[in-house]
Structure 1
Amino acid sequence: MIMIVKNVMTQPDDCFRLPGATSQVVGEYRIDLLVPEGPAPEGGWPSVWLLDGAGCFGTCVEAMRRMSRRSDATAVVPLVIVGISAADGDRARRQRVFTSPMADRPEAGGAEAFLRFLLEEVRPQVAARAPLDEGRTTLWGHSLAGYFTLWVLATHPRSFRNYAAISPSTWWDRPVLEAGLARAPGDRRALVCIGEWEDALPPWQASAPDAASALARRQARQMVAGARDIAALLTGVLGEEHAQFRLLPEEDHASVLSAAVPRMLRMASGA
């Protein structure tokens, strides 16, 4: 007999939808919220804000719960986890909301509106459900959302304390990132992670029929070099204690997420 039970490990304490009234660019979003058990610490909970939350909320919740049981060994404390996902699962919307304007991309450029949505609509809704420590907030983004994460640090750095850019799409309007990040305040913290195989092919893909075209696409965007360059810039601005670069071995653009979560949780916890 097979019995199916609810997965209590990843079940959010609350979820709700926000219409994205800030701009037509934003649209409707589902917000998943996990609040740790027990009373909040003095000053409120530290919090992690996951862009594209539908793809990483459960992974982050399980990692936080397991690691925070032994904070002395893992340096991870209980945190509020917020997942922000397009309510209709529309991934094409990502290029509209996670990018700065570019003259030749009229369908893009909604980053300002999306940041206002996060700060003016999502954050008050979450704060009404759990006391937050505004000095311990971490923004997480992957790929184009990783570009957005760096863009927020470059243009509105006081929005969050910590920034985790995972496999960031640094090829999108790189000059905007570099100019803004060069002026980032020194009390911010940043983590940049990239997979070893994001410019190359893993062994099992090397003999696939489309291997040559897949390799050409990866090499054209130079994800590893771009991430390394941005991390080096951040290290020069923030210092080695506040800027981390991690080249994660044997990971690609998809698998890097799970490997990056524990590193982000340590930063979000203050380690």
Structure 2
Amino acid sequence: MVKRLWTLFLLLWLCRFLSGQPSQVIPEIGESARQMFDMEQHDLTYNGREYRLYIAQPAGGGQTPRPVLYMLDGNGHFPRVVNLVEEVSDNTPLIVGIGYPSPMAYPKERTRDYTVPVEGNDEGGGAEDFYRFIVDKVKPFIEANYAMDTTRQTLCGHSHGGLFTLYVMFNHTRSFQHYLAASPSIWWGEGAIVPEHRPLFSHIPHSVTITLGEYEENPGLDPSRKNLAPEILRKKEQRKGGISSRELAVIIAEEVPDCRFILFEGKNHGSSIPEFLKEAVRVAGE
């Protein structure tokens, strides 16, 4: 039985690898990261739903107010980001990964929590409830237990997490000063995340960063595309159309002076994650 489950797990991993999707395997935290950071986990409950916070602060710096990087998909991204940090300084952010008590890097609950309601789609739509969880439970917990600079807070997310980052930026702009949306799923609801009104913002965020893998923008250049199964190709084609990440960045830049679009060369949806995480730490620490 164990052998069969392990085989199924490997097949799932292989399918996600070939499709350019992030692996469901949670990386191990390296020894270097364990020496640089004091790390903790805390479980929180909100409206009967279970969540887990993954928190890292530079070792020995508990009394120094630090900028805060609030990061979605904490299960998979927290170990990746702490492993990527090469050295810590006074500007190294307190890292707060928001995730779930699950052995999966990207649990299915993220679709429920990170997306906006779409008619005819009952798979997601819980973005506002999840936002309330962050402002009612997560941020008060961090502010009560860690030394932090409340004027330097960054929210970041990838894919559906990038979509949720845009949702908060457009609808609750004052909640954070900096926003980084990596490979955001703008296709969800055919661009329903983008407000129809102009101006977009009643309060201008300090900075907005949108990132994308080169092969996401130009899929024909992706050498791994030839390995994709027909059903995966069809799903990718269905997600085309509407406003692109680059076009959205141009529109935002009309109102936000510090708005950047970054294209990661030679990267697809999954392989762009490490580059996005490096950028998130840099933005949060500025």
- TM-score, scaled to structure 1: 0.82
Aligned to 1:178: 195
1:41 Cα deviation (Å)? 7.3
SS of 1:28's partner is: strand
| Superposed counterparts of 1:160-175, under 5 Å | 160-173=176-189, 174-175=191-192
| Superposed counterparts of 1:78-93, under 5 Å | 78-88=92-102, 89=104, 91-93=107-109
Aligned to 1:17: 43
1:202 Cα deviation (Å)? 5.6
- The yes-or-no answer on 1:56 pairing with 2:67 is no
| Superposed counterparts of 1:60-209, under 5 Å | 60-64=81-85, 66-68=86-88, 77-88=91-102, 89=104, 91-173=107-189, 174-179=191-196, 182-183=200-201, 185-199=203-217, 200=219, 203-208=222-227
Q: Map Cα deviations across residues 47-78 of structure 1 (whole Å, 9 max, x no partner).
A: 111110111112212333x1545x8xxxxx21
Aligned to 1:253: 269
When the two structures are aligned, how many residues end up with a matched partner? Answer: 251
Gap runs ≥5 in structure 1 = 72-76
SS of 1:48's partner is: strand
Change (3 A) 1:217 1:16: same
Aligned to 2:239: 221
Tell me the C-alpha RMSD between the 2 structures: 2.6
- The letter for the 2-side match of 1:96 is R
Change (3 A) 1:126 1:209: closer
Change (3 A) 1:100 1:163: same
SS of 1:251's partner is: coil
Percent identity for Structure 1 against Structure 2: 27
- The letter for the 2-side match of 1:190 is V
SS of 1:102's partner is: coil
Aligned to 2:4: none
- The letter for the 1-side match of 2:279 is R
Are the counterparts in 2 of residues 184 and 238 from structure 1 also a CA contact under 8 Å?
Answer: no
Are the counterparts in 1 of residues 181 and 211 from structure 2 also a CA contact under 8 Å?
Answer: yes
Are the counterparts in 2 of residues 51 and 141 from structure 1 also a CA contact under 8 Å?
Answer: yes
SS of 2:185's partner is: coil
1-structure distance, mates of 2:147, 2:193 = 34
- The yes-or-no answer on 1:32 pairing with 2:50 is no
1:258 Cα deviation (Å)? 0.2
Gap runs ≥5 in structure 2 = 1-27
- The letter for the 2-side match of 1:238 is V
Aligned to 2:25: none
Change (3 A) 1:6 1:80: closer
